Amino acid sequence: MSLEVRQLTVGPIAENCFILRPEGGGKALVLDPGEEAERILAAVEETGAEVEAILITHCHFDHIGAVAPVAKATGAPVYCPELEVPVLADIMSYTMPGFGPFEGYEADETVAGGETLELAGLSLDVVFTPGHSPGHVTYSVRGEEAIFSGDVLFQGSVGRVDLPGGDGPTLLRSIQGLIEAHSPETTVYPGHMGTTTLGAERATNPFLAQLPS
């Protein structure tokens, strides 16, 4: 099986929404639909696949702004980090002025880390990766050396830790955990900017220089 990933960069904060499925599969997953629901739905339709679930890494508004309309249009259940369910439900209370409006959504399923989800023909391990936000999770696709890590790790950078619930040492521990559990060749599909690999970031990302080797 090989993994098919389509990246759509959406909204004014240029957030990466991903559509993933086993190559050519009839079912797909939508991860972090942040904004531009119509565009995301059109991209899904182009694949010809049915959306089996919507996955969320964390509930900053730029990652979840289109959850409600995409869920309503597809009927797919939404998997939300347990600690951030109240944010998804009341999104406008957590949205910076000048953005939105967005519609809140009551999560259908919660994830906290430690689960393995069997969805759309994929097995995804859920890894708890707090630090950027308190409930942040990373989805690791079994057998594919691919992680969808939201705002944990970027090409040459890391997620900001100055927002409510953020913590720098916690974020670095989360990144260290991902590095220890995956091969250096593992592709990182991040919430902003381009894809990278864990090995490339370990070797060159200045924010990771202080990690134990």
Question: Which residues contact Fe ion by CB under 5 A?
Answer: 60, 151
Nearer to Fe ion (CB atom), residue 13 or residue 43: 13
Secondary structure element (H or E) that encloses residue 19, with its range = strand 15-22
User: Least distance in Å: CB of 212 to Fe ion?
Assistant: 26
Nearer to Fe ion (CB atom), residue 56 or residue 117: 56
User: Least distance in Å: CB of 58 to Fe ion?
Assistant: 6
Q: Which two tokens stand for residue 82?
A: 């347990």
Instruction: Please state the φ and ψ torsions of residue 194, each to the nearest 5 degrees.
Output: -85, 170
Strand partners, 158: 153
**Using CA atoms, how far apart are residues 33 and 67, in angstroms rounded to an integer?**
6
Q: Which two tokens stand for residue 58?
A: 């964390």
User: Least distance in Å: CB of 163 to Fe ion?
Assistant: 7
User: Least distance in Å: CB of 133 to Fe ion?
Assistant: 6
Nearer to Fe ion (CB atom), residue 28 or residue 88: 88
Tell me which residue has tokens 């949205």. Answer: 95
Nearer to Fe ion (CB atom), residue 52 or residue 84: 84
User: Least distance in Å: CB of 159 to Fe ion?
Assistant: 6
Nearer to Fe ion (CB atom), residue 13 or residue 211: 13
Nearer to Fe ion (CB atom), residue 21 or residue 60: 60
User: Least distance in Å: CB of 149 to Fe ion?
Assistant: 11
Angle between helices 67-74 and 37-47 (to 10 degrees): 40
CB 122 within 8 A of CB 150: no
Helix residue ranges, H only, 65-191: 67-74, 85-89, 168-181
Cis ω for the linkage preceding 164 (within 30 of 0): no
